[in-house]
Structure 1
Amino acid sequence: MTSKSVATALTLYRARTLTLEQAATVGGCSTAQLEESARAFAPTPGETPADD
């Protein structure tokens, strides 16, 4: 599991291109590890851009 493969898997999962299970396979990790990574990379409420 590399950070690049996990980042790619997270991007595809968030875009709803892949299921969580498929994204974990692409990222070379378990679904639990991918969920943990997703939480770690999730923007904090103050970081989300405003919808204008």
Structure 2
Amino acid sequence: MTSKSVATALTLYRSRTLTLEQAATVGGCSAAQLEESARAFAPVSPRSPDDD
């Protein structure tokens, strides 16, 4: 499992090209590992001035 293969797998999964299980196979990891990576690299929503 390389960072490039996981990044590719996440891209394919997020674009709904592959299922989670298929993307995990492409990334060379388990579905659980891919989910964990997806959460770790999830985009952070920008804060609004109203959040304070």
For the superposition of Structure 1 and Structure 2, which TM-score range results when normalised by the shorter chain? 0.7 to 0.9
1:13-52, aligned counterparts within 5 Å?
13-46=13-46
Aligned length: 47
Per the normalisation by structure 2, the TM-score is 0.86
1:50 alignment partner in structure 2:
none
Tell me which amino acid in the other structure corresponds to 1:25. T
Runs ≥4 residues deviating over 6 A: none
Q: Give me the identity figure in percent.
A: 87
Which has the higher Rg, Structure 1 or Structure 2?
2
Distance 2:42 2:11 in 1: 11
Give the root-mean-square deviation of aligned CA atoms: 1.2
User: Which ranges in structure 1 are unaligned for 5 or more consecutive residues?
Assistant: 48-52
Per the normalisation by structure 1, the TM-score is 0.86
